[in-house]
Chains A and B, each alone.
Chain A
Amino acid sequence: MKDAAIHVENVSASYRKNTVLEGVTFQVQPGSLTGIVGPNGAGKSTLLKTMLCLHPALTGSVTFFNQPFKKIKKRIGYVPQRGSVDWDFPTNALDVVTMGLYGQIGWLKRPSKEHKQRAWEALKKMGMEEFANRQISQLSGGQQQRVFLARALVQDADIYFMDEPLAGVDAATEQAIMTILKELKMKGKTVMVVHHDLQTVTDYFDHVLFLNGKVIAHGNTNHVFTKENLAKTYGGSIQWVKEGSQHVVHSIE
């Protein structure tokens, strides 16, 4: 498959003293919306970080449109977990979104009126324009997540990676974010999302990647999202609520 948007080949990585990823290999079609699912500690976040060179890979290679990350950085957008930054930082929502443009603005230059305008439009798209000048610590969890999404939108990337964008957000925000994700897909962007809610996988994603240290299964949601694969990924700790449609995961912490 030469025209894959993302090509991950035999990637391994360790976190602290444990190996969390081992021989991860998969390819992602351009214009697809993939959900990455797996239990806690399966290496979902580490996989994203390793692909983006934020975490060292022990083995393997990752290419985007047949190019290494370094050459194609500017066409990739990343939405880290909300908890990864300090929301008490003295700045406002518009400013955080403008940060998505810092790569394009370049050294020694200030964001111009046009940059601020683009950031404002991205906020508006997420229904957040009235909070543009709000200090970020005064936003709710869902609003903070929308700000992060707006910041990714303003980058206008071709490939997006999002780490649990739907974790701990209100229903309205979840809807808003899913609308945007589907819109990105319509525009031919490739999106990979770490996701934790198994009940919504079939509604939200056209592709699923089951991950637990290695790739358990990957492919079209209709074909791959099966009882067997869920059991293989989560180690049989799944309880079927309603046969065939809804699943509940009991974590074994």
Chain B
Amino acid sequence: MTYSAWIIITASLVGLSCGFIGVFLILRKMAMMADAISHTVLLGIVLAFLITEKLSGAPMLIGAIIAGLLTAFLVQWLHSLDIQLHASMGIVFTTLFAIGVILIATSVGNAHLDVQHALMGEITFIPWNTITLPLIGQIPQATALLGATLFVVLFFIVAFYKEWKITSFDPALAASLGIPVLLMHYLFMGLVSITTVASFDAVGAIMVVAMLITPAASAYLWTDRLSYMLILSGGFGVISAIAGYFIAAWIDTSISGSMAFASGLLFIVSFLCSPLHGLLSTYRRSRHRKLSSHTEKA
């Protein structure tokens, strides 16, 4: 396959996984938790690197899951001690991220791991670093990791669809029906962590937040059904990824930056033009209502 095809496939996989996970981030009102976890997984990756001395899939994933869950746990714990939720997030993730940065600077500085790369990603290098898989053949390592992540994310969303729905909508009812709300919360945080770390190589820690939040926030404006919202969000993620690639090729700039930019454009279009919750249609509806009430009076 060609070089650009691999980049587009990889970016689309990021768009899909982040799009699906993002829906529940939005509905659980935890959008900023994505920001927190996207930073703290850096610590997980650094620790995994310090222990195994290489940057490979499995240890990185495990490190990221541990770091993500640690973040979720510490935030919850501080919050239970009467610290405001958003303040606890701010405290926990900056501290863990700072430890990660210090470790990179002092212990692993010469390796293929630098802060710039971790924050911005470098999707253009992805096709060079390949592995050989049975049946499929030689594919880029990051693409394989993202494919596996998408599979895991899809599996958990489909298998526990109604549990995600009820714990997001009404956790009190879910708990009274015997659904383990807290366990589902940490499972979800685990999914956010692996999605973030798998997208790391491609788009970096900052842009992954854009891919997690923006397509889902756009999809939220288009539909009133959870299942459609999931499909739309995944679709918007892929569209942003592909559009981002071509924008980057066109004006010769960062691919991950262009992807985030494209998702922002999609959001603006949704915000203005969505027939359901868009600004224009809301305006038109309220005008229509005013006009008809005027005619009634007349």
- What is the interface of chain A, defined by CB distance below 8 A to chain B? 16-17, 49, 52-54, 73-74, 76-78, 80, 84-86, 89-92, 95-96, 99-100, 102-103, 105, 107-108, 110-111, 135, 137, 151, 155
Contacts and interface: CB of A to CB of B under 8 A. Distances in A.
Interface in B215-249: 220, 223-226, 228-229
Contacts of B224: 90-92, 135, 137
A69 to B, nearest CB: 9
B178 A74 contact: yes
B220 A111 contact: no
B143 interface: no
Contacts of A96: 169
B182 interface: no
A49 B177 CA distance: 14
B296 interface: no
A110 B162 contact: yes
B169 A78 contact: no
Contacts, number: 78
A99 B229 contact: no
B38 to A, nearest CB: 24
A103 B226 contact: no
B185 interface: no
Interface string B4-32: 00000000000000000000000101000
A102 B163 contact: yes
B121 to A, nearest CB: 31
A78 B176 CA distance: 7
A90 to B, nearest CB: 5
Contacts of A110: 161-162
B298 interface: no
B159 A73 contact: no
B168 interface: yes
Contact of A91 (B165, B174, B179): B165
Contacts of B162: 99, 102, 105, 110-111
B169 A89 contact: yes
Closest 7 CB pairs of A and B: A103-B177, A135-B224, A78-B176, A89-B169, A85-B170, A90-B226, A99-B166
